Homo-oligomer: A and B are copies of this chain.
Amino acid sequence: MSSPISEVEITSGRVTIADPSTPFPLASGAVLEHAELAYEAYGRLNEDRSNAILLFHALSGSQHAAGFTSEVDGAGDRWTEDCQYGWWDLFIGPGKVLDTHQYFILCVNYLGGCYGSTGPTTLDPQTGRPHGARFPAITTADVVHSQARLLDHFGIRQLHAVVGPSVGGLMAINFATLYPDRVRIVIPIASGHKTTVLARLTLFEQVLAIENDPHFQGGDYYDDTPPEYGLALARMISHKTFVHLDAIERRARKDVVASTDQLAWYQIRNNVESYMLHQGKKFVKRFDANTYLRIIDMWLNFDPLRDAGVATYEELFAISKAADHHYLVFSIDSDFCFYPEEQADLVACLKAADVSAMHITVHSDKGHDSFLLEPELYAPHLYYTLAGRWNKTRVNGPAVPLVE
Which residues from chain A sit less than 8 Å from chain B, CB to CB?
133, 137, 196-198, 200-202, 204-205, 207-209, 211-214, 216-219, 229-230, 232-233, 236-237, 240, 245-246, 248-249, 263-267, 269-270, 272-273, 276-277, 293, 297, 300-301
Contacts and interface: CB of A to CB of B under 8 A. Distances in A.
Contacts of A204: 236, 272-273, 276-277
Contacts of A270: 200, 300
A264 B211 contact: yes
Contact of A236 (B201, B233, B248): B201
A237 B207 CA distance: 12
A133 B265 contact: yes
Top 8 nearest A-B pairs (CB, nearest first) are A218-B264, A212-B229, A214-B214, A197-B245, A201-B240, A207-B266, A208-B233, A204-B273
Contacts of A293: 265-266
28 contacts: A197-B272, A198-B245, A200-B270, A200-B272, A200-B273, A201-B236, A201-B240, A201-B245, A201-B272, A202-B240, A204-B272, A204-B273, A205-B233, A205-B236, A208-B229, A208-B236, A209-B209, A211-B263, A211-B264, A211-B266, A212-B213, A212-B230, A212-B233, A217-B264, A219-B264, A219-B265, A266-B293, A270-B300
Given A201-B240, A201-B276, A266-B297, 14 more contacts: A197-B249, A198-B240, A198-B245, A200-B270, A200-B273, A201-B248, A204-B276, A204-B277, A208-B232, A211-B263, A211-B264, A211-B266, A212-B213, A219-B265
What's the dominant secondary structure at chain A's contact region? Answer: helix
Nearest to A294: B265
Contacts of A211: 263-266
B269 A197 contact: no
A19 to B, nearest CB: 26
Contacts of A297: 266
B205 A248 contact: no
Given A208-B229, A230-B212, A233-B209, A265 B218 contact: yes
Contacts of A237: 205, 237
Contacts of A217: 264
Nearest to A239: B201
Contact of A216 (B236, B249, B264, B301): B264
A376 to B, nearest CB: 27
Q: Which of A208, A217, A248, A272 has the most CB atoms of chain B within a 10 A radius of its CB?
A: A208
Contact of A248 (B137, B197, B232, B265): B197
Contacts of A216: 264
Contacts of A233: 205, 208-209, 212
Contacts of A214: 214
Contacts of A208: 229, 232-233, 236, 263
A232 B202 CA distance: 14
Contacts of A196: 245
Contacts of A240: 198, 201-202
B198 A300 contact: no
Contacts of A202: 240
Nearest to A246: B197
Contacts of A213: 212
The winner among A201, A207, A277 for most chain B CB atoms within 10 A is A201
Q: Which residue, A197, A207, A276, has most C-beta atoms of chain B within 10 A?
A: A197
Nearest to A245: B197
A211 B212 CA distance: 11
A233 B198 CA distance: 15
